[in-house]
Amino acid sequence: MISDKPGIYMICDRDERKYYVGASSSSCYLRVLNHIHHLKNHKHISEGLQKAFNKGNELEFVQLVETPNWEKTEILELERRLIFALKSYEYSFNTKNVPPEILLRS
């Protein structure tokens, strides 16, 4: 279940066992609706996720953590750390808009 609070979420492709890590500083629910809109209109920023959606793969939307009292910079930092820790930029769908510095962090 995705809440209307800020936080970190994942879009999981259950068929290919890949995922997309995302964040919202206002509403994860509205951000997920935005993803769905882009996927349905063939305009998602992640080509891999778009291809999976187009193939009819089963996508699941999961909120990992709510961050209602966090600053936007803190939420984005947690998102970057999760993308790095899970290697989502290498093995999954977070292949665009990953800041170069993420590759240098440990």
Which helix (H) or strand (E) segment holds residue 88: the answer is: helix 88-91
Residue type present at position 23: A
Segment 8-63, tens digit of pLDDT: 999 999 999 999 999 999 999 999 999 999 999 999 999 999 999 999 999 999 99
Q: What is the strand order of the sheet 18-24 is part of?
A: 18-24, 7-13, 59-66
pTM metric for this prediction: 0.86
Q: What are the sequence ranges of the domains in the chain? A: 7-103
Residue 69 has pLDDT above 50, yes or no: yes
The matching CATH number, chosen from 3.40.50.2000, 1.10.10.10, 3.40.1440.10, 3.30.2320.50, for 7-103 is 3.40.1440.10
Cα separation, 80 vs 96, whole angstroms:
13
